[in-house]
Amino acid sequence: MNRLEQVHEMVRAALNALAAAAPDRLLAQAEPGWFERYEARIEDYRLRRNKAERIRLGHDIGADGNGILRAVYSQAAPGWLRDIPAVQTLRHVWIPQYVTIDDRLRWRTPDEQLPGTIRQISPYDSDARSGTKRESHWDGYKVHLTETCDTDAPHLTTNVITAPSPGSDYDATEQVHEALASRGPTPAVLLADKGYMSARNVARAERRGIELLGPMMPDQAWQSAEGNGFAVSDFTIHWDNRVMTCPSGAASLPWANETDQGGTSVIGMRFDARLQALSHPGAVHPRRQRPPHHPAPIGRA
């Protein structure tokens, strides 16, 4: 549903719930035109394409929602009316959707709305959220499917996970592993697209005895994007010696186990600029190659 359909359905759901719980009170306080406006669910293809008319309808719906909330939260109203789920949802949705300034109601701009991870989109499912992945946009959930892919046997779905739409595919990878382990022997090899691939997930899978295979996410550092400075792919990692070699052939200091700002365990690798200059007078240190306003690069694996 688009935004106009959502707020209309929020009001309609609240009115239907109040009609069932307190019909006499609703009839006494109903505004003229409510029945005609909310007797049926509106669909986008039935709405007029005129933008100004849609904006006016959105303001009318906003005023109706405010009227319902004022009546329910008035001192004369029974307190139990506020506990009706559809009324609570209406209140939670109206605050981020509308704002009243100098007694004038207006839509909140997209920048003023709550993030998609916490913004409710349905009066009937409080956990449903909006999701975006590249050019695709949807309301609801994201489903992660696992299936067998043997060339000489039928392909069978072995696991289904339903997750919130804004959730990361990286996080779902471990959930897939746990679900498969709970059913019995885990697969020796698990193929995945790059949305599920990360160094952490590969390491976690290996500890479970699973070889997680798939394309890794490309290097997003500014050095790779701009071609200015050394990118991660320009370095060689010597795992046994716990050092890294730069493009000019100089070795890093022994790596250190660290924790990044998000609390993730990482391996930090650094080069001594003074030793670099002595052993390779002609080499240019990455720190001196960075463009203005960029942080100095630190090699990580």
HEC profile for 104-126?
A: EEEECCHHHCCCCCCCCCCCCCC
Helix H or strand E encompassing 71: helix 51-72
Residue 78 CB-density burial (10 A; 0-12 exposed, 13-18 middle, 19+ buried): exposed
The pLDDT score that the predictor gives to residue 290 is 42
* Residues paired with 269 in a beta bridge: 299
Tell me what pLDDT residue 294 has. Answer: 39
pLDDT of residue 250: 86
Cα–Cα distance between 39 and 60 in angstroms, integer? 15
Tell me, what's the pLDDT at 1? 64
Predicted local distance difference test score (pLDDT) of residue 299: 38
Q: What is the pLDDT along the chain (301 residues), one digit of tens a residue?
A: 688 888 999 999 999 999 999 998 888 888 888 888 898 888 766 777 788 888 888 899 999 999 999 999 999 899 999 999 999 999 988 988 898 888 888 888 878 877 777 888 888 888 888 888 878 888 889 999 999 988 899 999 999 999 888 878 888 999 999 999 998 888 899 999 998 998 889 989 999 999 999 998 887 777 777 777 777 778 899 988 899 998 888 888 888 888 888 787 888 888 887 655 544 444 444 444 444 443 333 333 3
**pTM for the model:** 0.64
